[in-house]
Amino acid sequence: MFELSRFSLEGRVALVTGASRGIGHATALGFSRAGASVAITSRKQPDVDAVADEIRRMGGRALPIASHGGRMENHAALVDAVVKEFDRFDILVNNAATSPAMASVLDTEERLWDTIMNVNLKGLYFLSQAAAKVMKKNGGGRIINVTSSDGIKASQGRSVYAISKAAVIMATKAFAGELARDNIRVNAIAPGAVDTRLLNNIWLNLPEDQQETIRSQIAEAIPLGHIGAPDEIVGAMIYLASDASSYLTGQTILIDGGVSVG
43 binds ligand NAP (CB under 6 A): yes
φ, ψ for residue 66, nearest 5 deg: -80, 120
**Rounded to whole angstroms, what are the CA distances from 215 to 155, 170, 200, 239, 259?**
16, 31, 9, 29, 15
Site string for ligand NAP, 98-117 (x = CB under 6 A): x-------------------
Residue nearest to ligand NAP (CB): 22
Total residues at interface with ligand NAP (CB under 6 A) = 30
Helix (H) or strand (E) segment spanning residue 14 = strand 13-16
φ, ψ for residue 226, nearest 5 deg: -150, 155
Site string for ligand NAP, 152-181 (x = CB under 6 A): ------------------------------
63 binds ligand NAP (CB under 6 A): no
Segment interacting with ligand NAP (CB under 6 A) among 43-51, 52-60, 132-140, 207-215: 43-51
**How far, in Å, CA of 78 to CA of 75, rounded?**
5
Q: By C-beta, is 32 or 42 nearer to ligand NAP?
A: 42
**Rounded to whole angstroms, what are the CA distances from 117 to 70, 114, 146, 256?**
8, 5, 14, 23
Which 202-261 residues touch ligand NAP, going by CB under 6 A? none
Which of 14, 15, 144, 199 binds ligand NAP (CB under 6 A)? It is 199
Torsion of CA 245, 248, 253, 258, to 10 degrees: -80
Helix (H) or strand (E) segment spanning residue 169 = helix 159-179
Site string for ligand NAP, 132-151 (x = CB under 6 A): --------------x-x---
239 is catalytic: no
Distance of CA 241 to the CA centre of its chain: 12
**Which residues are known to be catalytic?**
161
Q: Which residues bind ligand NAP (CB under 6 A)?
A: 17-24, 41-44, 47, 68-70, 95-98, 119, 146, 148, 191, 193-194, 196-199
